[in-house]
Amino acid sequence: MHRLQVLNMYRGMYRAVRRIDDLKLRQSLTDEVRRSFRDNRGISDAVTLRTTMIEGNRQLKQLIALGADRSSGVANPQSWINGPAEEGEERGRVGTGWPWDPK
């Protein structure tokens, strides 16, 4: 069972890394995933294996988010900042008006 979970995590990490547009970052992360799995392949202690799997799942979620952010160009498409602006609303106009422009 653990072998299947580890293989699925390994494949998932490679899929997530392939979604990253930046070639240098993609190569660096590919090398890191490969090295990390190679370094941890001898783990036989159940507690260590469990904590390593938990950490691996956390890192997999980060890789998936990183790939989604990079490929879409938008961190969160559901965010208010990506929606239509209301009448008279000036988004991204930091530094206009009070307190930067005292009257």
Q: What is the DSSP string of 31-60?
A: HHHHHHHHHHTT---HHHHHHHHHHHHHHH
Domain extent listing, the chain: 2-75
Helical H segments across the chain, by residue range: 2-18, 23-40, 46-72
Give the integer Cα–Cα distance in Å for 49 and 55: 10
Tens of pLDDT, residue by residue over 5-19, are 999 999 999 999 998
pLDDT tens digit sequence for 46-91: 999 999 999 999 999 998 888 766 544 555 556 656 666 677 666 6
pLDDT at position 31, please? 95
Q: From CA 60, how far away is CA 56, in angstroms rounded?
A: 6
> Which pLDDT score, from 0 to 100, does residue 66 have?
82
